[in-house]
């Protein structure tokens, strides 16, 4: 499938030890009301930038209780295109979040490249736990990123 990397390639990218490079703070997203986003380049254990790797966190402000969206994503870039290597998407359990034929998912799930896997047990009150899980999955030195 064009624009998507394989699950095996995603796991290889995730296995590399990573630190965030530069500041990483949630800010209002200009083109989506109620969304906050933080983005940073990634470096290795020696402080060298890992070309093309970007970590991004996006939060949608809930209008009503239990209507959240937290996206934690590791992207790789190729030829100017941003490709998802790994993503954790936290939503309410009753929300349909993935529509692949033969793999319909409700609620929280994760993507390893082109593979989507249901991940029950997370909810709208699990932002901090979700961030910690994301950091563990992609081998990223833990960061504190508080919701404003």
Q: Which residues of 13-36 are buried (b: 16+ CB within 10 A; e: fewer)?
A: bbeeebbbbeebebeeeeeeeebb
Residue 41, token pair as written in the block: 């380049």
pLDDT per position as a tens digit, 26-72? 888 777 667 888 899 999 989 899 999 999 999 987 666 678 899 99
Provide Rg for the chain, Cα atoms: 15
**pLDDT value for 147:** 60
Residues 67-92 have a mean pLDDT of 93
Q: What distance, in Å, lies between the first and last C-alpha atoms of the chain? A: 37
């Amino acid at each position: 499938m064009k624009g998507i990397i394989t699950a095996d390639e995603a796991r290889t990218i995730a296995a590399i030890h990573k630190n965030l490079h530069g500041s990483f703070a949630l800010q209002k997203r200009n083109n989506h009301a109620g969304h906050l986003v933080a983005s940073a380049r990634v470096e290795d254990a020696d402080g060298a930038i890992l070309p093309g790797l970007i970590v991004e966190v996006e939060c949608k402000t809930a209008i009503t209780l239990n209507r959240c969206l937290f996206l934690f994503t590791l992207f790789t870039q190729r030829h100017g295109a941003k490709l998802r290597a790994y993503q954790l998407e936290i939503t309410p359990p009753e929300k349909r979040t993935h529509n692949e034929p033969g793999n319909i998912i409700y609620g929280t799930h994760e993507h390893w490249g082109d593979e989507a896997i249901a991940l029950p047990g997370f909810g709208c009150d699990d932002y901090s736990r979700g961030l910690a899980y994301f950091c563990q999955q992609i081998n990223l030195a833990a960061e504190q990123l508080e919701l404003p």
